A and B are shown apart, each in its own frame.
Chain A
Amino acid sequence: MRLISKLVFVLSLITSCGVHAHAVVTHNSLALKPVPVNQASQVELSFNSKVELDLSEIHLVSAGDKMQVIEAVPGDKPGKVLLNLPALMPGEYAIKLKVFAADGHLSEDLLRFFVKQPQ
């Protein structure tokens, strides 16, 4: 049994149990309020859990996967976060989130969006 116990121990060290995200964005303002062209704006996010903003990192991703850190501030309710976006040219963008949820999961999420000239 000693061989088995040692094996169990070693194997328990090399098995994994998933690394999916827990904190996910349940609502965002991007669909209802498109990001304006060449004008600083604010995006509102609602998470499914409490998040620790001091331990989170949020990037704006533009063409060529260029990353730019954007400022995030707490909203008026727990789980709500406001992002301050700089003035953006028309094109495809994404908001890349690395968020520390209050239950201890460091979660990643991605929101893709377009900035379009008004028709």
Chain B
Amino acid sequence: MEGIADYLDSLIGGIDLTFYSIAIGGLLWGWLILKPWEDETRFNNALLEKTVALIQFGSKALIFTQLSKIGLKIWLMSVTLGKSPFPAFFHTVQFNAGIARAASAAVLFYYVKTALSKHLRSEQRWLTANAILLPLVVSAAWLVHGASRLEDRGLLMSITVIHQIAAAAWVGGIFQLLAIWRLKKRNLVGVELWPVVLKRFSVLGVGAVVVLLLTGTPLAWYYIRTFQGFIGAGYGNLLMVKIMMMGLALGFAWLNRQAVVEFFESRSLYTLTAKVPYYIEAETLVLLTILFTAASLASQPPSMDIPSLTATWQEVLGMFEPRLPRYTSPSHEALLAGEPGRVAIVGQVPSEAATAWSDYNHNISGIFLTTMSFFAMLSYSARFHRWARFWPVGFMLLGVFLFFRSDAETWPLGPIGFWDSTFNNGEVLQHRIATFLVFGLGWMEIKARIAKEPGMLPFVFPLLAAFGGMMLLAHSHVGFEPKTAFLIQVGHTLMGVFSLILACGRWLELKLDAPGKNIAGFISVFALFQIGIVLMFYREPLY
């Protein structure tokens, strides 16, 4: 069960940040954006109730997430160390700060449920609720990366917490906007409110971005220090991915802001109602991915701590160098023969067969995807649409291919049983999930494309693609060779970013009118093509 414990322990950080953002961002939203005590006629009770319900949900979920984090940590230590972690665990910062954080979230939840929700327009109640955030934020400070540092601990903890609050203001605000849009669709709030809240939020959003940059820059400098650390280590690489995704999120934010400015000049609601809500939905996908990447970043050793283990920029670029894809595979026997030496700790012998096996898997997957993207492009033409629209069948075939090839040492090709390998190895578990996702992606997308009334089914594809992207960003070949692991990671993270672009493009293609939908659709297919290209030229380092 070590694999599952390890896996769950690592994923819970992103979930935790999401609920933290919903709770804190929601309170800041109510306090700084809505200010319901100022004008009693502007925001109706339905809107305020929804706002507070989201805060309540976020704080309640945070209690459970935080307690689950502690439980998972205990489980992970028990299965990894093979002994009970008690009583030592009771004396750790993790336990004490974790319990304090859960307790603070519980106090917040109780206050929001019993006091704020019953006096939605009371400035005093909103102020008190925001004041209750303080112990929550302080206890959270003891759980961030900086808390374990040996130098400048207080400074790093403070900057990180301010960074988190700025991110929470942005993410929590986006969730509030989505909630208001749903209320508007159900005619529970008037359409005239939509530009008002968007305009107010854009000010808070700009402030949040400024704080994110002001706090993120010194943190990046502290933990990375050199260009090589930025280019050639896992920490720097994930930060680069975060910056790229931040650019994407800012792009959507800019489109929204432009739409608001245009509205107050032209008074036309078209862009604000026919485009902006969908930009916000896509922005949400990007922001959630950023939160999961941030959690992943916090578990990487800072680049400054591993200067002798970072790759050069030439080695990084070499991972993307165009080459003829490998189209022949070593035999299964040759692969297994090299495995004991490859995984040995003492007397390790790099396995050429294992590297070739992995290259073949990646390169053939790349050929699958580039071919599929070609047919996807053809499907936009009326002439070829009839048969080219079945291009997602490729995902199902790819799923079957991956099932047999991903983990050769496990069932059905290898000696290790299916359940044994799935539950005791985090990497195998990730591969199994990825395989299932890829197959499911193809199956659902085909169903969505042939059904006369597919309902919500077409939206499954972009959601699965977005979560597939998250998995790629988190994909980890954990081992004791940080440089090798990083060189493998660097290709996967780039594909993760393209998966997110693929997801956002497809989402907007489904939601927008022409010509926006066509542009988004093309970007989506182009991102699929790029993933294929990265995979086709993939070469695993020999280890």
Contact = CB atoms under 8 A, between A and B. Distances in A.
A12 interface: yes
Give the interface centre of B85, B299, B433 by most chain A CB atoms within 10 Å. B299
B396 to A, nearest CB: 19
Contact of A18 (B18, B296, B345, B460): B296
Contacts of B300: 18, 20, 22
Interface stretch (B6-14, B318-326, B353-361, B379-387): B6-14
B494 to A, nearest CB: 15
Interface in A69-106: 77-79, 92-94, 96, 98, 100-106
Contact of A22 (B7, B143, B299, B459): B299
Q: Which range contains the number of B residues in contact with the other chain?
A: 35 or more
Nearest to A52: B92
A61 B14 CA distance: 35
A32 interface: no
B430 A16 contact: yes
Interface stretch (B125-133, B327-335, B469-477, B527-535): B469-477
B183 to A, nearest CB: 12
A64 interface: yes
Interface in B251-299: 292-293, 295-296, 298-299
Contacts of B460: 7
B242 interface: no
A55 B467 contact: no
A104 B143 CA distance: 8
Interface in B190-236: 234
Interface residues of A, number: 53
Given A22-B299, A110-B480, A17 B306 contact: no
B301 A65 contact: no
B249 interface: no
Dominant SS among interface residues on chain B: helix
A71 B143 CA distance: 28
Contacts of B426: 16, 19
A103 B148 contact: yes
A15 B459 contact: no
B347 interface: yes
B112 to A, nearest CB: 21
Contacts of B433: 14
B390 to A, nearest CB: 23
Contacts of A108: 478, 480
Contact of B143 (A48, A50, A103): A103
B539 interface: no
A115 B18 CA distance: 50
Interface of A: 1, 3-4, 7-8, 11-24, 26, 48-50, 52, 54-57, 61-65, 77-79, 92-94, 96, 98, 100-110, 112
Given A4-B456, A18-B474, 16 more contacts: A17-B293, A18-B296, A18-B299, A20-B300, A20-B482, A20-B485, A21-B299, A26-B305, A48-B302, A55-B92, A103-B148, A104-B94, A106-B6, A106-B73, A106-B77, A107-B301
